[in-house]
Chain A
Amino acid sequence: MSAHQEEEALGKLYDAQLTRRLLGYLRPYRARVTVAVALSLVSSGLTIVGPLLLKVTVDRYLVPALAGRLSSDVAMHGVGLVVLLFLAALCTRFTLDYIQTRMMQRVGQLAMYDLRRELFDRLQRLPLAFFDRNPLGRLVTRLTTDVDTLNDLFASGVVAMLGNCFILTAIIVAMLKLDWRLALAAFSVIPLIVLVTLLFRRSVREANRRIRVAIARINAFLQEHISGMTVVQLFNREKKARKQFAEANAAHMDAYKDAILAFALFYPAVEFLGVLAIAVLLWYGGMRVLSGSLTIGTIVAFIQYAQQFFRPIQDLSEKFNILQTAMASSERIFRLLDEPITIQSPEKPVPLGVPRGEIEFSHVWFAYTGGAQPAEEDWVLRDVSFRVRPGQTAAIVGHTGAGKTTLISLLLRFYDVQRGQILLDGRDIREYSLHDLRRHFGIVLQDPVLFSGTLESNVRMGTEGIDRPAVERALDEVGLGGFVRSLPDGVAATVGERGSTFSVGQRQLVSFARALAHNPRFLILDEATSSVDTKTELTIRAALDRLLTGRTAIVIAHRLSTIQHASQILVFHKGRLREQGTHQELLARRGIYHRLYQLQYKDQEIRVHATAGDAASAAVPAND
């Protein structure tokens, strides 16, 4: 349903407010726009020169010469002058049009550049909750396809529409000036043209609506049946699918055939009216030529004008279509730009120099949905309180869905808590600026994200002050030094999209190096669950020890070694902090932790002990 409704909304007509906002993007370039408009004004004026020169040629030279009132040579000389004038007009028009088009096309590009930049900046500041709601692909489309749609409007729409109006005015004025009675006779078909156009528009609008709906249906059907092809085949429903599709397909064809009918009527009708105007000119004008009150040159010029008259009108209606598409795109773009930034730095942030390094959760309640008053079952964290002292490592364990990852997101203020507060060095994190807060955190996510670029750019990110030696040191410290040196390009080695050329273990180590290079006061770590080979596992363990030393850390632990090293273990279950203590204490209590341990970590103990022999040999050269 909603896909069809979306199509409906696209049919929305021109909107003054949107237009004003769109034109606002031309404001920085208004000088150039003004010049372009002026040039197009002059160029439009020149379009009326052609027929006028024809009139002069006919009336002043050809007719008198044919009647024997002027010698051929004099006449030919005059014609030569007219031709030179015509050539001059053509050259001028060509130059003006070229400059004008180029200017506006450039302005269009610049306006799109601005718009894209604004959109991207907005995306960098929108809260993560926004990204939970909006599919990534659609956001990318906003920045690319939607913005590009506006090009036609910026580059040619605005000036061309004005230009067309100028041309129409110029032709009307020229005709009235030449002979107002003949002009009025020619104009008599205009109301008919308006009528025909209105009728056409109305009949096409309905067909267009049906076409859009049919296309949406066909697309939805294809999308669904291609993704669900196995189900269709398993249930022998090919015949039914074929029948359903043929229906949507037929609706599409029928709607188009109705539209064809309207077009097939419209084009000949307009042509007929155009020729009607010419016939009127020839008949009425001809009569007056016969009675001596009009020159042949005037009729000839009028016929040219009548033919020129249709082009700007056709152009205008084409531009109208451009405008409509642009409106639909701009509406989507502005909706994104108007998205509120709900998480931002306070107006007067408390400065945060070098933190002592204490983290405290105090009666924190949090839900992803439901705004300020979520439904009871939506709470992901319920009344969570704990404290991590400077330099301590807290390991968080819990079954799937216990709320572990949420803790991390809250600490970095990706989301704001509904109730309670999170304190850093005894102050609510909402009192610090976002930049100050996050600057002191190093973060390693479960699925390590690498960006396309080089190893170096992945470790440094964009942070100034991390030079190449620092990058190399960080890579050495996490045990990747040997590997990096083995690469032909070293730290300049190319990283493909999503780091696909590196193994999972290597990606983890690079993200360790990234955190280490930034030398954070706090470390947040969501350990990877995916299994790596034993050697890598040991390298990672060694790197982890290095990373945790001297830092306050919160680790979502999937490795037994991490848990055993932790100063305290926080056991979460169904959104609540249920147990707290050291490994031995909690095991002795034989509660949730004991069961979790048996479920998730016991195998590791066996595996790690079994391979402890390799540990030393693998870890030592890596740390070398």
Chain B
Amino acid sequence: MSAAATPVAAVAPAAVRKASPIENLRALLPYVRRYRGGTALGVATLLAGGLVGAMLPLVMGTIIDSISGEHSLIERMSALPGPLERFLLSFYRPLSGETLVFFSLTLLGIVLVKGIFSFLTRNILIGVSRDIEYDLRNDLLDHLLRMEPAFYVRNRTGELMSRCTNDLNAVRMVLGPGIMYSLNTIVIMVMAISIMVRISPQLTLYVFLPVPAVALAVRYFGKVIHDRYEKIQALLAALSARVQENLTGIRVVRAFCQEEHESRAFERQNKDYVDSNMALIAAWSLFFPALEFLIGIVFLIVLWQGSRLTLQGSFSLGALMAFYGYIAQLVWPKVALGWVTNIFQRGAASMGRLRYILSAEPEIDDRAVAARPADDIHGGIEFRHLTFRHPGAENNAGGRPVLDDINLRIPAGSTVAVVGPTGSGKSTLAALVARLWEAPPGSVLIDGRPIAEWPLHALRRAIGFVTQDTFLFSETLRENIAFGAEAASDLDVDRAAHIASIRDEVLDFPKQFETVVGERGLTLSGGQKQRAALARALIREPKILVLDDALANVDTETEERILRGLAEVTRHRTTLLISHRCSTVRHADQIVVLREGRIVESGNHEDLIGRGGYYADLYQKQLLEEELARV
């Protein structure tokens, strides 16, 4: 079994080797560059806001200095630009009511200006992150729309969905809050520290004594939590698997009266999960209290040493107040730093997963299109020594090809039917005509030219395809049928529905052609869906009509009606009819029986009945079935 699994696995992610986080994030640069004007402006307002905001504790300290009757903090530190300092000091007088009013208003003025800047910053920077998210999401869909079925065999829908939603969101967090908060943090730190050093280098040094301890603690907790978290995730996955399995086998569980036993087994796993959570809790519960404690210690140092310096005369009450203010400003960056690191780490990993899609290139494209402009397709199909294996299965030793040396000519305008047991390769043959899979060069020809020489768009434009498992979109019936043509009138929809024998039923629905179908609308029966899909193919007026077991869910009577209507339509079209019902195929110009990827019988209905092989047997059984249905 490993022999079968390995090649497929090797094909899937081979294209993407593990990129470093930096590499992944660098892939975002082209997107950011598109909005470089906005980004620059946002960064500028952020810097401006930071500069202005750093004044707040200084002004508060100045007021305290004023009411305690001392010289101003501003005067002593002389860190502000000369004119600004002179301007502010011209209003400063110790123990004066006017000074109080002036600086209180200054406080409000500063916070107002800062507010305007941070309003602009948030609007611009976060707005840009949403713009880029929009671009990225469109690009993701773009790539998905170009990828061939083989890609969707390798990648599960849920997995792709998760990349387009969860991973994109994680990347957006980097572009928005990630960048904004990390810049903000840096600005605050630089500003606060430089002003604090001006006020008192000594106290600044003391205040930063516990920083290494904080950094170490954050690192330690980060690691512990990360490690334990992985174990917890694994146990949670096991728990889900357990429930999944129990519910899948619920009949056996009930029949063997194993409900109690299952409950006990679940309880054990439930307990393991809870226990591993408890281990995390022991660390987690320490994290925030410890952080608060360390922050408290910093304030304690300021109180203690600040008082000492004040008593020595090299510090003032106002300076003490300002320090309190700057430390309050710094507490947030310290917390934010851990948070931002997390955002960047997750974002980089997610960007790696997005790049898997963004760098995927389809195997099936127009690279082999012949230079001269494409003529119209008339509809002649030829399979010439066609041997086909699904990609990824080439190395599968002992695995036989899905199609083995198929030689078949379908002249334009004729009808060929393919019958055969399940797994004989019928659907693959049909899919190759629409180039959903890539056949070896020169083995499939359309109008005598290799299929790859036709532009993909023109080729598919010429084909009306009804797939085996019908897929309708959650839209109205009209939209679903009109889906087939670029510009279909109501009359066209009506006509196509009529030929596909679904028109009368639709008109019986309360909302008629405006009825919404699919997951979120009316549930149609299998037969109704197939007929809607048939109408969707017919409305294209295709040169080549491919019906892949398209009437399997339609009862025999309706089938006959549809076939009568189709006879008119298929007269001038090449028709490839795949079925395991004789009633569907008996009027075809040519019937081909496929078995294990090879053509074993071919001829018209009468020929094949006369030969007494698979087809004749099938016909016999079908007659019996019809008899049974009438009982």
Contacts and interface: CB of A to CB of B under 8 A. Distances in A.
Interface in B96-149: 97, 100-101, 103-105, 107-108, 110-112, 114-116, 118-120, 122-123, 126-127, 130-131, 133-134, 137-138, 141-142, 144-149
B252 A443 contact: yes
A599 B252 CA distance: 31
A441 B255 CA distance: 7
Interface in B273-310: 274, 277-278, 281-282, 284-286, 288-290, 292-293, 296-297, 299-300, 303-304, 307-308, 310
B240 A97 contact: no
A366 interface: no
B631 A62 contact: no
A452 B246 CA distance: 10
A275 B111 contact: yes
B256 A443 contact: yes
A286 B63 contact: yes
A224 B516 CA distance: 14
Contact of A139 (B114, B247, B252, B621): B247
Nearest to A229: B152
B60 A278 contact: yes
Given A131-B250, A264-B123, A278-B60, A229 B144 contact: yes
Contacts of A518: 256
Interface residues of B, number: 136
Given A105-B284, A232-B145, A461-B258, A249 B137 contact: yes
A328 B299 CA distance: 41
A63 interface: yes
A97 B285 CA distance: 8
A286 B521 CA distance: 69
Nearest to B259: A124
A41 interface: no
B165 interface: yes
Majority-rule SS of A interface residues: helix
Contacts of B265: 462
Contacts of A219: 161, 165
A293 interface: no
B284 to A, nearest CB: 7
Contacts of A233: 145, 148, 436, 460
B138 A290 contact: no
Nearest to A65: B311
Nearest to B625: A599
A199 interface: no
A435 B247 contact: no
Interface stretch (B185-193, B213-221, B463-471): B463-471
Majority-rule SS of B interface residues: helix
Best-surrounded residue of B116, B244, B540 (most CB of chain A within 10 A): B244
A412 B254 CA distance: 9
A195 interface: no
A514 B101 CA distance: 90
A128 B255 CA distance: 12
Interface residues of A, number: 139
Given A76-B307, A276-B108, A300-B321, A222 B300 contact: no
B122 A109 contact: no
Nearest to A94: B293
B60 A83 contact: no
Contacts of A227: 157, 471
Nearest to A597: B624
A106 interface: yes
A230 B436 contact: yes
Interface string B592-623: 00000000000000000000000000000100
A231 to B, nearest CB: 5
Given A50-B299, A90-B297, A451-B249, A260 B123 contact: yes
B138 A592 contact: no
A299 interface: yes
Given A50-B296, A229-B145, A94 B64 contact: no
A94 B303 contact: no
A224 B161 CA distance: 10
A250 B474 contact: no
Nearest to B249: A449
A421 to B, nearest CB: 20
Contact of A300 (B64, B244, B308, B436): B64
Contact of A94 (B100, B147, B292): B292
Contacts of A286: 63, 66-67, 100, 104
A284 B184 CA distance: 33
Contact of B107 (A220, A252, A282, A399): A282
Nearest to B172: A256
Contacts of B467: 230-231, 234
Interface string A273-315: 0011011101100110110000010011001100100000000
Contact of B130 (A225, A260, A449): A260
B248 interface: yes
Contact of B296 (A90, A105, A232, A257): A90
Given A106-B281, A303-B321, A443 B255 contact: yes
B157 A226 contact: yes
Contacts, number: 367
Given A264-B122, A275-B107, A90 B520 contact: no
A68 to B, nearest CB: 12
Interface stretch (A52-60, A173-181, A377-385, A538-546): A52-60
B100 A282 contact: yes
Contacts of A414: 251, 254
Given A102-B282, A260-B127, A136 B248 contact: yes
B134 A249 contact: yes
A200 interface: no
Interface stretch (A115-123, A348-356, A553-561): A115-123
A445 interface: yes
B252 A445 contact: yes
Contact of A272 (B111, B148, B324): B111
A66 B126 contact: no
B553 to A, nearest CB: 13
Contacts of B293: 90-91, 93-94
Interface in B323-355: 324, 328
A121 B308 CA distance: 66
Interface string B538-580: 0010000000000000000000000000000000000000000
State the 9 A-B residue pairs at the shortest beta-carbon distance, nearest first.
Answer: A462-B261, A268-B115, A102-B285, A97-B289, A264-B122, A124-B259, A449-B249, A101-B285, A283-B104
Given A72-B312, A237-B483, A461-B258, 8 more contacts: A90-B296, A120-B266, A123-B243, A222-B160, A235-B465, A241-B145, A271-B114, A449-B249
18 contacts: A1-B520, A50-B299, A65-B311, A83-B304, A90-B293, A93-B296, A98-B286, A105-B281, A124-B246, A218-B165, A224-B519, A256-B130, A412-B255, A441-B255, A443-B251, A443-B252, A497-B241, A573-B628
Interface of A: 1-3, 50, 53-54, 57-58, 61-63, 65-66, 72, 75-76, 79-80, 82-83, 86-87, 90-91, 93-94, 97-98, 101-102, 105-106, 109-110, 112-113, 116-117, 120-121, 123-125, 128, 131, 136, 139-140, 143-144, 148, 215, 218-220, 222-238, 241-242, 245-246, 249-250, 252-253, 256-257, 260-261, 263-265, 267-269, 271-272, 275-276, 278-280, 282-283, 286-287, 289-290, 296, 299-300, 303-304, 307, 399, 409, 412, 414, 434-435, 438-439, 441, 443, 445, 449, 451-452, 461-463, 497-498, 501, 514, 518, 524, 573, 578, 592, 595-596, 598-599
Interface of B: 1, 56, 60, 63-64, 66-68, 95, 97, 100-101, 103-105, 107-108, 110-112, 114-116, 118-120, 122-123, 126-127, 130-131, 133-134, 137-138, 141-142, 144-149, 152, 157, 160-161, 164-165, 236, 239-241, 243-267, 270-271, 274, 277-278, 281-282, 284-286, 288-290, 292-293, 296-297, 299-300, 303-304, 307-308, 310-312, 317, 321, 324, 328, 434, 436, 457, 460-461, 463, 465, 467, 471, 473-474, 483-484, 486, 516, 518-521, 536, 540, 621, 624-625, 627-628, 631
